[in-house]
Amino acid sequence: MQSAKIVGLGKYLPPKILRNKDLERMVDTSDEWITTRTGIRERRIAEKGLGTSFLAREASRIALKRAGIKASQLDLILVATITPDTQFPSSACYLQNYLKAHSAAAFDVSAACAGFVYALTTAWQFIESGLYKNVLVVGSEVLSSITDWSDRSTCVLFGDGAGAAVLTRSTTRKSFLSSYLGADGANSDLLILPGGGSRHPASEETLKQKMHFIKMKGNELFRIAVRVMVSAARKALTKAHLTTEDIDVLIPHQANERIISAVAKRLNIPQGKIYVNISHYGNMSSASSAVALCEAWEDGLIKKDDIVLLDAFGGGLVWGSCAIRWL
Protein backbone atom coordinates (compact mmCIF):
# COMPACT_ATOMS: atom_id res chain seq x y z
CA MET A 1 0.00 0.00 0.00
CA GLN A 2 1.34 3.41 -0.95
CA SER A 3 -0.64 6.57 -0.36
CA ALA A 4 -0.27 10.16 0.82
CA LYS A 5 -0.91 11.90 4.12
CA ILE A 6 -0.71 15.47 5.39
CA VAL A 7 2.06 15.85 7.95
CA GLY A 8 2.30 19.62 8.37
CA LEU A 9 0.07 22.67 8.04
CA GLY A 10 0.90 26.38 8.12
CA LYS A 11 -0.71 29.74 7.42
CA TYR A 12 0.24 33.34 6.90
CA LEU A 13 -2.08 36.32 7.16
CA PRO A 14 -0.65 39.77 6.47
CA PRO A 15 -0.79 41.96 9.61
CA LYS A 16 -2.76 44.84 8.06
CA ILE A 17 -6.46 44.57 8.92
CA LEU A 18 -9.14 46.30 6.84
CA ARG A 19 -12.37 46.47 8.82
CA ASN A 20 -15.89 47.01 7.50
CA LYS A 21 -15.84 50.43 9.19
CA ASP A 22 -12.80 51.35 7.03
CA LEU A 23 -14.71 50.31 3.88
CA GLU A 24 -17.60 52.56 4.90
CA ARG A 25 -15.22 55.48 4.27
CA MET A 26 -14.17 54.14 0.86
CA VAL A 27 -17.46 53.12 -0.83
CA ASP A 28 -21.21 53.42 -0.28
CA THR A 29 -21.58 50.45 2.07
CA SER A 30 -22.20 49.67 5.72
CA ASP A 31 -20.86 47.29 8.34
CA GLU A 32 -24.45 46.09 8.77
CA TRP A 33 -24.87 45.22 5.03
CA ILE A 34 -21.54 43.41 4.80
CA THR A 35 -22.01 41.45 8.03
CA THR A 36 -25.58 40.34 7.39
CA ARG A 37 -25.10 39.53 3.67
CA THR A 38 -21.71 37.82 3.94
CA GLY A 39 -20.61 37.26 7.55
CA ILE A 40 -17.38 39.20 6.88
CA ARG A 41 -16.20 41.70 9.53
CA GLU A 42 -12.59 42.23 8.49
CA ARG A 43 -9.98 41.03 6.02
CA ARG A 44 -6.18 41.13 5.72
CA ILE A 45 -4.37 43.20 3.11
CA ALA A 46 -0.81 42.46 1.98
CA GLU A 47 1.73 45.25 1.92
CA LYS A 48 1.99 46.76 -1.58
CA GLY A 49 4.60 45.02 -3.70
CA LEU A 50 4.56 41.75 -1.75
CA GLY A 51 3.78 38.96 -4.19
CA THR A 52 1.81 35.78 -3.65
CA SER A 53 5.03 33.76 -3.26
CA PHE A 54 6.06 35.84 -0.23
CA LEU A 55 2.86 34.94 1.61
CA ALA A 56 3.29 31.35 0.43
CA ARG A 57 6.84 31.27 1.79
CA GLU A 58 5.76 32.31 5.28
CA ALA A 59 2.99 29.68 5.42
CA SER A 60 5.28 27.00 3.92
CA ARG A 61 8.06 27.53 6.44
CA ILE A 62 5.64 26.83 9.28
CA ALA A 63 4.15 23.77 7.53
CA LEU A 64 7.62 22.33 6.79
CA LYS A 65 8.77 22.87 10.37
CA ARG A 66 5.68 21.14 11.74
CA ALA A 67 6.15 18.30 9.26
CA GLY A 68 9.80 17.86 10.23
CA ILE A 69 10.71 17.91 6.54
CA LYS A 70 13.44 20.10 5.10
CA ALA A 71 12.79 22.17 1.99
CA SER A 72 15.69 20.31 0.36
CA GLN A 73 13.68 17.08 0.72
CA LEU A 74 10.75 18.39 -1.33
CA ASP A 75 10.13 16.72 -4.69
CA LEU A 76 7.35 19.00 -5.87
CA ILE A 77 5.84 22.40 -5.04
CA LEU A 78 2.30 23.27 -6.13
CA VAL A 79 0.92 26.78 -5.63
CA ALA A 80 -2.81 27.20 -6.15
CA THR A 81 -3.40 30.84 -7.05
CA ILE A 82 -5.24 33.23 -9.34
CA THR A 83 -2.95 36.10 -8.35
CA PRO A 84 0.50 34.83 -9.35
CA ASP A 85 3.45 37.19 -8.78
CA THR A 86 3.84 37.40 -12.55
CA GLN A 87 2.05 35.84 -15.55
CA PHE A 88 5.16 33.71 -15.73
CA PRO A 89 7.32 32.38 -14.17
CA SER A 90 4.93 30.68 -11.78
CA SER A 91 4.67 31.63 -8.12
CA ALA A 92 5.69 28.03 -7.40
CA CYS A 93 9.08 28.75 -9.02
CA TYR A 94 9.57 31.90 -6.92
CA LEU A 95 8.62 29.90 -3.83
CA GLN A 96 11.06 27.12 -4.75
CA ASN A 97 13.84 29.71 -4.82
CA TYR A 98 12.73 31.39 -1.57
CA LEU A 99 12.77 28.02 0.21
CA LYS A 100 15.96 26.82 -1.53
CA ALA A 101 14.04 23.67 -2.41
CA HIS A 102 16.46 22.93 -5.22
CA SER A 103 15.32 19.33 -5.81
CA ALA A 104 11.68 20.25 -6.26
CA ALA A 105 9.75 20.57 -9.50
CA ALA A 106 7.32 23.49 -9.31
CA PHE A 107 4.16 24.69 -10.98
CA ASP A 108 1.02 26.73 -10.29
CA VAL A 109 -2.50 25.34 -10.27
CA SER A 110 -5.19 27.68 -11.59
CA ALA A 111 -8.56 26.63 -10.22
CA ALA A 112 -9.67 29.79 -8.40
CA CYS A 113 -11.38 29.13 -5.06
CA ALA A 114 -11.22 25.36 -5.61
CA GLY A 115 -7.47 25.62 -6.28
CA PHE A 116 -6.34 24.14 -2.97
CA VAL A 117 -8.60 21.09 -3.40
CA TYR A 118 -7.42 20.66 -7.00
CA ALA A 119 -3.76 20.98 -5.92
CA LEU A 120 -4.15 18.60 -2.96
CA THR A 121 -5.69 16.01 -5.27
CA THR A 122 -2.82 16.47 -7.73
CA ALA A 123 -0.21 16.10 -4.98
CA TRP A 124 -1.93 12.98 -3.63
CA GLN A 125 -1.88 11.41 -7.10
CA PHE A 126 1.82 12.20 -7.65
CA ILE A 127 2.64 10.50 -4.35
CA GLU A 128 0.34 7.51 -4.81
CA SER A 129 1.75 6.88 -8.29
CA GLY A 130 5.18 6.57 -6.70
CA LEU A 131 6.70 9.43 -8.68
CA TYR A 132 7.26 11.72 -5.67
CA LYS A 133 7.57 11.33 -1.91
CA ASN A 134 7.32 14.85 -0.41
CA VAL A 135 5.04 17.50 -1.90
CA LEU A 136 4.29 21.03 -0.68
CA VAL A 137 0.82 22.35 -1.55
CA VAL A 138 0.02 26.03 -1.01
CA GLY A 139 -3.08 28.13 -1.52
CA SER A 140 -1.90 31.74 -1.67
CA GLU A 141 -3.56 34.92 -2.88
CA VAL A 142 -3.05 38.66 -2.99
CA LEU A 143 -6.60 39.40 -4.11
CA SER A 144 -6.21 43.03 -3.06
CA SER A 145 -4.05 43.43 -6.20
CA ILE A 146 -7.01 42.64 -8.49
CA THR A 147 -9.76 44.28 -6.42
CA ASP A 148 -11.55 47.37 -7.70
CA TRP A 149 -11.64 49.48 -4.54
CA SER A 150 -14.39 51.66 -6.04
CA ASP A 151 -16.78 48.72 -6.69
CA ARG A 152 -18.79 48.05 -3.52
CA SER A 153 -20.25 44.83 -4.93
CA THR A 154 -16.84 43.13 -4.87
CA CYS A 155 -14.34 45.11 -2.78
CA VAL A 156 -15.98 44.20 0.53
CA LEU A 157 -15.63 40.48 -0.13
CA PHE A 158 -11.98 39.63 -0.65
CA GLY A 159 -8.81 39.36 1.43
CA ASP A 160 -5.18 38.22 1.22
CA GLY A 161 -3.55 35.20 2.84
CA ALA A 162 -1.85 31.85 2.41
CA GLY A 163 -2.15 28.33 3.76
CA ALA A 164 0.25 25.43 3.20
CA ALA A 165 0.20 21.65 3.59
CA VAL A 166 3.12 19.23 3.42
CA LEU A 167 2.23 15.77 2.10
CA THR A 168 4.40 12.71 2.35
CA ARG A 169 4.16 9.02 1.49
CA SER A 170 2.12 6.85 3.85
CA THR A 171 2.62 3.10 3.79
CA THR A 172 0.37 2.18 6.69
CA ARG A 173 -3.20 3.44 6.28
CA LYS A 174 -5.01 5.37 3.57
CA SER A 175 -5.53 9.02 4.46
CA PHE A 176 -6.85 10.48 1.18
CA LEU A 177 -10.07 8.53 0.73
CA SER A 178 -11.59 10.25 -2.29
CA SER A 179 -11.71 13.35 -4.43
CA TYR A 180 -14.33 14.66 -6.77
CA LEU A 181 -13.43 17.57 -9.07
CA GLY A 182 -15.69 19.33 -11.56
CA ALA A 183 -15.81 22.29 -13.93
CA ASP A 184 -18.25 24.27 -16.09
CA GLY A 185 -16.53 26.55 -18.59
CA ALA A 186 -19.88 27.67 -20.01
CA ASN A 187 -20.33 29.93 -16.99
CA SER A 188 -16.85 31.45 -17.07
CA ASP A 189 -18.24 35.00 -17.28
CA LEU A 190 -19.80 34.84 -13.80
CA LEU A 191 -16.46 35.40 -12.07
CA ILE A 192 -13.60 36.64 -14.16
CA LEU A 193 -10.54 38.86 -14.45
CA PRO A 194 -11.02 39.78 -18.11
CA GLY A 195 -7.90 41.87 -18.82
CA GLY A 196 -4.19 41.19 -18.99
CA GLY A 197 -4.34 37.76 -20.63
CA SER A 198 -3.84 36.78 -24.28
CA ARG A 199 -7.45 37.64 -25.18
CA HIS A 200 -7.20 41.18 -23.89
CA PRO A 201 -3.53 42.06 -23.35
CA ALA A 202 -2.90 45.09 -21.15
CA SER A 203 -3.57 48.29 -23.08
CA GLU A 204 -4.83 51.79 -22.39
CA GLU A 205 -8.29 50.53 -23.32
CA THR A 206 -8.22 47.59 -20.88
CA LEU A 207 -7.07 49.93 -18.12
CA LYS A 208 -9.83 52.42 -18.95
CA GLN A 209 -12.43 49.62 -18.87
CA LYS A 210 -11.02 48.41 -15.50
CA MET A 211 -10.53 44.96 -16.99
CA HIS A 212 -7.70 44.15 -14.57
CA PHE A 213 -10.11 43.86 -11.68
CA ILE A 214 -12.39 41.02 -10.57
CA LYS A 215 -15.85 41.09 -12.17
CA MET A 216 -18.50 39.03 -10.46
CA LYS A 217 -22.20 38.23 -10.88
CA GLY A 218 -22.65 37.40 -7.22
CA ASN A 219 -26.33 36.62 -7.24
CA GLU A 220 -26.14 33.95 -9.94
CA LEU A 221 -23.03 32.47 -8.37
CA PHE A 222 -24.70 32.20 -5.00
CA ARG A 223 -27.40 29.82 -6.24
CA ILE A 224 -24.94 27.68 -8.21
CA ALA A 225 -22.46 27.59 -5.31
CA VAL A 226 -24.95 26.02 -2.91
CA ARG A 227 -26.16 23.40 -5.40
CA VAL A 228 -22.69 22.47 -6.63
CA MET A 229 -21.02 22.33 -3.20
CA VAL A 230 -23.76 20.03 -1.90
CA SER A 231 -23.45 17.75 -4.91
CA ALA A 232 -19.61 17.70 -4.84
CA ALA A 233 -19.60 16.79 -1.15
CA ARG A 234 -22.09 13.97 -1.73
CA LYS A 235 -20.09 12.62 -4.70
CA ALA A 236 -16.80 12.63 -2.76
CA LEU A 237 -18.47 10.89 0.18
CA THR A 238 -20.06 8.23 -2.05
CA LYS A 239 -16.69 7.53 -3.69
CA ALA A 240 -15.21 7.00 -0.22
CA HIS A 241 -18.17 4.77 0.85
CA LEU A 242 -19.11 7.34 3.50
CA THR A 243 -22.25 9.29 4.36
CA THR A 244 -22.67 12.81 5.69
CA GLU A 245 -23.00 11.30 9.18
CA ASP A 246 -19.40 10.12 8.96
CA ILE A 247 -18.07 13.69 8.60
CA ASP A 248 -16.29 14.94 11.72
CA VAL A 249 -15.13 18.27 10.29
CA LEU A 250 -16.37 20.10 7.19
CA ILE A 251 -13.97 22.66 5.73
CA PRO A 252 -16.06 24.65 3.23
CA HIS A 253 -14.75 27.38 0.95
CA GLN A 254 -15.32 30.69 2.73
CA ALA A 255 -17.11 32.88 0.17
CA ASN A 256 -20.24 33.74 2.15
CA GLU A 257 -21.51 32.60 5.55
CA ARG A 258 -24.99 32.22 4.06
CA ILE A 259 -23.66 29.82 1.40
CA ILE A 260 -21.89 27.79 4.09
CA SER A 261 -25.07 27.61 6.21
CA ALA A 262 -27.22 26.60 3.23
CA VAL A 263 -24.74 23.85 2.25
CA ALA A 264 -24.52 22.57 5.82
CA LYS A 265 -28.30 22.57 6.17
CA ARG A 266 -28.81 20.58 2.97
CA LEU A 267 -26.13 18.10 3.98
CA ASN A 268 -27.60 17.98 7.49
CA ILE A 269 -24.27 18.72 9.17
CA PRO A 270 -24.48 20.37 12.60
CA GLN A 271 -22.86 23.79 13.10
CA GLY A 272 -20.27 22.41 15.54
CA LYS A 273 -18.69 20.29 12.81
CA ILE A 274 -18.15 23.15 10.36
CA TYR A 275 -15.10 25.38 10.42
CA VAL A 276 -15.92 28.98 9.59
CA ASN A 277 -13.39 31.84 9.74
CA ILE A 278 -14.82 34.15 7.05
CA SER A 279 -15.56 36.90 9.60
CA HIS A 280 -11.80 37.50 10.05
CA TYR A 281 -10.48 37.01 6.52
CA GLY A 282 -13.24 37.35 3.91
CA ASN A 283 -12.92 35.31 0.74
CA MET A 284 -9.26 34.48 0.04
CA SER A 285 -9.97 32.22 -2.97
CA SER A 286 -7.56 29.25 -2.95
CA ALA A 287 -6.11 30.35 0.41
CA SER A 288 -9.51 30.09 2.14
CA SER A 289 -9.65 26.28 2.33
CA ALA A 290 -5.93 26.07 3.09
CA VAL A 291 -6.09 28.54 5.99
CA ALA A 292 -9.36 27.07 7.31
CA LEU A 293 -7.86 23.56 7.33
CA CYS A 294 -4.78 24.83 9.17
CA GLU A 295 -6.82 26.75 11.76
CA ALA A 296 -9.28 23.89 12.35
CA TRP A 297 -6.26 21.70 13.14
CA GLU A 298 -4.58 24.40 15.29
CA ASP A 299 -7.84 24.89 17.22
CA GLY A 300 -8.00 21.16 18.01
CA LEU A 301 -11.18 20.62 16.03
CA ILE A 302 -9.45 17.98 13.87
CA LYS A 303 -8.33 14.92 15.81
CA LYS A 304 -6.65 11.65 14.85
CA ASP A 305 -8.88 9.34 12.77
CA ASP A 306 -11.38 12.13 12.06
CA ILE A 307 -13.01 12.28 8.64
CA VAL A 308 -12.37 15.76 7.21
CA LEU A 309 -14.27 16.88 4.13
CA LEU A 310 -12.99 19.81 2.07
CA ASP A 311 -15.61 21.37 -0.21
CA ALA A 312 -14.87 24.31 -2.52
CA PHE A 313 -16.35 26.23 -5.44
CA GLY A 314 -15.14 29.14 -7.56
CA GLY A 315 -14.63 30.97 -10.83
CA GLY A 316 -14.21 28.81 -13.89
CA LEU A 317 -16.59 27.56 -12.80
CA VAL A 318 -14.75 24.91 -10.79
CA TRP A 319 -15.57 22.85 -7.76
CA GLY A 320 -14.06 20.05 -5.74
CA SER A 321 -14.45 17.99 -2.61
CA CYS A 322 -11.94 15.76 -0.92
CA ALA A 323 -12.46 13.25 1.92
CA ILE A 324 -9.46 12.76 4.20
CA ARG A 325 -8.98 10.48 7.21
CA TRP A 326 -6.68 12.38 9.58
CA LEU A 327 -3.68 10.19 10.45
Q: Do residues 224 and 187 make contact, with C-beta atoms less than 8 angstroms apart?
A: yes
Rounded distance between C-alpha atoms, residue 190 and residue 242, angstroms: 33
Q: Are 110 and 82 in contact (CB under 8 A)?
A: yes
Residue spans of alpha helices (H) in the chain: 20-24, 31-38, 52-67, 91-99, 115-128, 152-155, 204-208, 218-239, 257-267, 278-281, 286-298
Given the residues 20, 93, 113, 155, the one annotated as active site: 113
Among 47-55, 163-171, 192-200, 218-226, which window interacts with ligand UT7 (CB under 6 A)? 218-226
Among 221, 236, 240, 322, binds ligand UT7 (CB under 6 A): 221
Query: CB 156 → ligand UT7: shortest distance, Å?
Result: 4
- Window 96 to 115, contacts with ligand UT7 (CB under 6 A): 113
Q: In the bound complex, what is the minimum distance in angstroms from residue 196's beta carbon to ligand UT7?
A: 20
Nearest approach in angstroms of CB 293 to ligand UT7 is 16
DSSP assigned state of 130: T
Stretch of 2-10, 135-143, 150-158, 169-177 contacting ligand UT7, by CB under 6 A: 150-158
113 is catalytic: yes
Residues 180-209: b if buried by 16+ CB within 10 A, e if exposed: bbbeeeebeebbbbbbbeeeeeeeeebeee
Q: Which of residues 19-38 bind ligand UT7 (CB under 6 A)?
A: 29, 33-34, 37-38
- Out of 129, 171, 172, 219, which residue is the one contacting ligand UT7 (CB under 6 A)? 219
Judged by the rule CB under 6 A, the positions of this chain that interact with ligand UT7 are: 29, 33-34, 37-38, 113, 152-153, 156, 191, 218-219, 221-222, 225, 255-256, 259, 283, 313-314
Residues recognised as catalytic = 113, 253, 283
